[in-house]
Structure 1
Amino acid sequence: MKSPEPDDTPILITDAAQSYEEEFATRRRRYSIMMALRVPCLVLAAVFYNTPWLAVAFILVSIPLPWMAVIIANDRLPIKASKFRRYRDDSDVAALERKDHPVIEP
């Protein structure tokens, strides 16, 4: 039986979480991005003041952004589902499946 080719991906040895500083920086970056999206919405609403429905749409989009930014920034980061390698010897599985299984009848 051929041996599996070596995989260059490292084997997972720990489920260590990000440090508090890294997590805080990520959350702060998300908050800044969401709050920065509000400014263009309000500017576009001012630019399209001649088209009232479009200006109102931009204003309505910008209203929940601060609330969503706070909720997302205060939430913890999701736990990443990582796929890791496990050693699996397929020769044992194949050998077990090839054997005849005795049937016991009453």
Structure 2
Amino acid sequence: MKRPANRPILITDAARSQRDQLRSREVRYVVMMGIRAACLIVGAVLVSAKAPLLWLWLPLCVAGMVLIPWLAVLLANDGPPKEEHRFGARLRRRERPEPEPLSLTADRGSRTIDAEP
């Protein structure tokens, strides 16, 4: 998306670097795989201990072991949303006032305030 010529460039509008995006996706993937491993271990402990309500907890653990890897791969391969699809960007565009153009000639009726007496 091109910005209009009279709008200032803000550093907060800059996209994250490719390295930062990749790093956050790697961390998210490892965390999700850790949760999957925890589901496997908890399921094995529940079965070996013959825990009460095993009929409830075991399907939850199995669902975690099956769904989490699928979601982890999808999220690891996903990129950041495009600017036109981001809700915050649309909101910022509406809220941000247009800057006033600077004039090269000063108004004669304006006052100048200095910090020094």
TM-score, normalised relative to structure 1: 0.60
Distance 1:44 1:26, change over 3 A: same
Cross-structure match for 2:68 = 65
Give the letter aligned to residue 36 of structure 1.
Answer: G
Identity of aligned residues (%): 32
| 1:13-52 aligned within 5 A | 13-14=9-10, 15-49=13-47, 50-51=50-51, 52=54
Aligned-pair distance for 1:23?
A: 0.7
CA distance in 1, matches of 2:64, 2:36: 8
Deviations 1:17-64 (A, max 9, x none): 111101111111111111111011111101111144222321222112
State the alpha-carbon separation in 1 of the partners of residues 20 and 99 from structure 2. 35
- Structure 2, unmatched stretches of 5+, are 1-7, 101-117
Q: What is the number of equivalent residue pairs in this alignment?
A: 79
Tell me what 2:58 maps to. 55
Task: Give unmatched runs, 5+ long, in structure 1.
Answer: 1-11, 90-106
RMSD: 2.6
